[in-house]
Amino acid sequence: MAADVQEISGTKATIAARLCNFPTGQSKPIGAHKQWLEAKVKPIVAGNPTAWVDLIGHASRQWSKTQGANAHTLNKNLSYERCEAVKGYVKNFSSGAKFNVEIAAGDKESVGPKENDGYDRAVEILVYSAGKPSRPDPPKPIATREFEIRVVGGGSASIIAQTDDYFFQIVDLRRRTTAFFFYTGGGIGISIPKIPGPGSVTMTGPATLFHTTRDAQLYMFNSPAAMYQDPGATVGPWSVGGTIRLSIDEIVDGAGMIFTVPGLIPIEGGSGIQMPGLGSVTKGVLAKATPDWPFTGY
């Protein structure tokens, strides 16, 4: 769970923090927010005519499935209300308090691992003690290391030689974009032959969270890859073992290699059929099969 107050370093502000864990659907600061504002912001703002404050409000993506296209509007309004609530509290410190930037980011920068993550229910506050407020810098390119992957469908065939052909969906959680990838590979599988024959077919499964060691973009996952499958069996919606583990082997930028964490990404399949087997490993290619498009939910 995110800490209620996470101080931010590396800015030009005198003090800055992310106030997290606003109650779901609410804009009122919690006790920990008020304590930090009293202790850290009040001494800077009170009686200082050169001080000013910047605010950036955020909301989680909790409504993305139930509210559809309305979710972004609802979350943008909620993030604005959170900014206004923090502004109102800071105004108690000085009637002349200045506010230079106020941005309602809504859920467009939602990065928490959960749909209703406390890290995303937040307001960033940056407090400057001297100087002259200027127009905000142009927005920096969004960088991300947070992704999700799920199997969309595919199958394997094996007696000893193994072939794997699977479609995967990867989501860039910060840029809120997604694309489909096709894995094809060959190698060795150890199956226990049984009618209708050795092999497996799987339908769409749940998403798995992973991250990269540096900023990455979806196109970089177009890479040589390897796929491992644990021992197991699947019939319809019932499954024992059989987890897919994907290694994306050559994610590269100008600074060199980028690695996924974990290195072998575990991916659970959906309903289908997998003949009882003792596992498999194939080497192949993960090929980007579609352009990027906005991600609004599964």
Domains by residue range for the chain, with CATH? 5-128 (3.30.1330.60), 146-294 (no CATH)
Q: What is the mean pLDDT of residues 75-103?
A: 93
pLDDT confidence of residue 133: 53
Q: What is the mean pLDDT of residues 217-239?
A: 71
pLDDT at 55 over 90: yes
Q: What is the mean pLDDT of residues 80-101?
A: 93
Distances (CA, A) of 104 to 83, 109, 124, 206, 288: 7, 11, 10, 31, 34
pLDDT at 89 over 60: yes
241: confidence class by pLDDT, cuts 50, 70, 90:
very low
pLDDT at 102 over 50: yes
Top-confidence residue, 191 or 144: 144
Structure tokens, 172: 């860039």
Place of tokens 């799920």: 150
Q: What is the mean pLDDT of residues 227-253?
A: 67
71: confidence class by pLDDT, cuts 50, 70, 90:
confident
Query: Using one digit for the tens of pLDDT, what is the confidence trace for 262-291?
Result: 999 998 876 654 443 445 678 999 999 999
Strand ranges, E, within 30-112: 52-57, 98-104
Q: What is the mean pLDDT of residues 228-242?
A: 50
Dihedral (CA of 260, 264, 268, 274) sign: positive
- With pLDDT > 70 as the criterion, what percentage of the chain qualifies? 77
Q: Which of 58, 249, 217, 35 is nearest to 141 (CA)?
A: 217
